[in-house]
Structure 1
Amino acid sequence: MYTYSPKYIQFYPTLKCNLSCTFCFNRGISAKTEMNISDFKKIISIISDIGVQEIDMLGGEPTLHPEFSQIIDIICSKKLKITISTNGSHVEILEKIMSEYNNGLITVGVSVNSEEISRELRNYLFKYKPLIKSVFSKKCNIPETARKYLGVPGMKYYLLFMDTVCEEDLASSVPFHE
């Protein structure tokens, strides 16, 4: 038996993305073939057996995986918690998941970094109150689109520091101070 297991793991169902965010730590990575469902079932079974309690799902854009709904089904069948980090571009998929899995296992975090967001995404944000995230940089601290949601009852906001992946990032990133 395992004496220690991580509380959570990060899982990248796909590295494909439909946006080109300048702050993304996965930008420029070529999208490989997505994990197939058979392999995913094996991995989830193993991590569940060793005591992992939560999956932190990132990408690329996780909702672009062709079997995204099946992935959610498999994770929920093991009673694991899921945090899905998304750019919010596939609102219909997010709404389907939130309406089908109102079980307290799923948390959605939506990145709000652009100057405009769609009406569908705005409606989703007010209806489901996901986590709102934006990236702090020298160019922008809290985007105006994100400010609209500060103080909305039941909605949490996270301001994230930009990952510095390459030398070009240094011009925009804000270092932690001692």
Structure 2
Amino acid sequence: MSQLVDDFGRKYSYLRLSVTDVCNFKCSYCLPDGYKPEGKPSFLRLDEIQRLLRAFASVGTQKVRITGGEPTLRKDFTDIIRAANDTKGIKTIATTTNGYRLETHAKEWFDAGLRRINVSMDSLDPRQFQQITGENKFHQVMRGIDAALEAGFKRIKINAVLLKGLNDNDLPKFLSWLKTRPIDVRFIELMETGLGRDYFQEHHLSGNTIKAKLLAQGWFHQLPQATDGPAINFCHPDHQGRIGLIMPYSKDFCSTCNRLRVSATGKLHLCLFTEAGVVLRDLLQDDNQQQELIERLHQQLHQKKATHDLHHGITGITKHLASIGG
């Protein structure tokens, strides 16, 4: 099958697949009031996920990131990893997690085929961690990161949302932490969502502030690989770890887009900040629907825009990032 390519020549080899929008944390920038279901949730079943993965793999997807909400809340999370690992054409299986189950399950997930883990860790200060996440689980998550390294994961990525007035002075702590550890810390610019305009205006800080500090301290830019996400990575000869910056408000951020998203209820999202999702679930009920599903994917790529509209304050209908997997 021909690879997914949009009208701007961008090729799509990376799928972010949400398997639940439920989360047990209450992060101030995402779910400050905790998870509140809208009716009875009906998330994709394992057999539907298997058909979806086969279709995407047949049109060039090589990397799958299993997301949420908190994806490890799914009782069949390990089975989902195995399903991705058994899909011909999928070369890299990743997940993004808050890390609360890593300590006890890292080895199990590694053995099932998971190879990359991103852990949300917005501060290295336990009190500030609790202030941001609403949970007193800092030490549990830190033990989970150590357990993942011991289980065989080569490099752990830490996601830290850059928050003015909260963690914007934490760079020295993070640099010290990754000096002797194979850990990538990625600072993500706060993005405005439908529920967070006031919060955004109070706490948004450009990643360029971190970039300037890194360059001044001898860090240098690394060239990206084909299946990498949107981070700009920086290395230093005296550090095992790396620093990454994800700056969605930067010029040409969307020009190298290589990823599509499918929500936990089976909707295709062409962009994180899209006005609507495209239903795929009706074509996930039977193995004989694969060709029709593939044709729908190709057709919908023509609707993808050249760039998002965040600069104009247009955030789409996404209420919070947990709803379509961030």
Q: What displacement does 1:126 show?
A: 3.1
* Aligned residues of 1:13 and 1:59 also touching (Cα < 8 A): yes
Higher mean C-alpha deviation, range 75-84 or range 140-149: 140-149
Match of 2:215 in 1: none
What residue is the counterpart of 1:72 in the other structure?
Answer: 81
Alpha-carbon contact 1:18-1:61 (below 8 Å) kept: yes
Gapped regions of structure 1 (runs ≥ 5): none
Structure 2: distance between partners of 1:177 and 1:37: 37
Q: How does 1:34-49 map to 2 (within 5 A)?
A: 34-49=43-58
Identity across the alignment (%): 17
CA distance in 2, matches of 1:18, 1:28: 7
Tell me the secondary structure at the aligned position of residue 201 of structure 2: helix
Structure number with greater CO (CA < 8 Å, separation at least 6) is: 2
Asked whether 1:150 is paired with 2:205, we answer: no
Equivalent position of 1:167 in the other structure: 197
- State the match for 1:83 in structure 2: 94
Aligned counterpart for 2:144 among listed residues 112, 120, 124:
124
| Counterpart contact for 1:82–1:106, Cα < 8 Å | yes
After superposition, the Cα gap between the structure-2 partners of 1:15 and 1:37, relative to the gap in structure 1 and judged at 3 Å, is: same
Residues 20, 68 of structure 1: alpha-carbon distance in 2 compared, 3 angstrom cutoff: same
**Are the structure 2 counterparts of residues 3 and 177 from structure 1 closer, same or farther at C-alpha, using a change threshold of 3 Å?**
closer
Residues 26-37 of structure 1 aligned to structure 2 (within 5 Å): 30=37, 32-37=41-46
Contact kept? 2:66, 2:96, Cα under 8 Å: yes
Q: Does 1:8 align with 2:8?
A: no
Contact 1:113 1:146 in 2 (8 A): no
State the Cα RMSD in Å.
2.8
Partner SS, residue 183 of structure 2: coil
Letter in 2 for 1:162: L
Equivalent residue, structure 1, for 2:160: 134
Q: Aligned partners of 1:57, 1:120: CA distance in 2, in Å?
A: 22
1:20 aligns with 2:26: yes
2-structure distance, mates of 1:48, 1:25: 32
TM (norm. structure 2) is 0.48
Cα distance, 1:155 vs structure 2: 1.6
> Larger C-alpha radius of gyration, 1 or 2?
2
- Find the aligned partners of 2:197 and 2:35 in 1 and give their Cα distance: 14
The alignment covers a number of residue pairs equal to 175
TM-score, structure 1 normalization: 0.82
Secondary structure, counterpart of 1:156 in structure 2: strand
Report the residue type matching 2:109 in the other structure: I
Query: Contact 1:83–1:107 at 8 Å: present in 2 too?
Result: yes
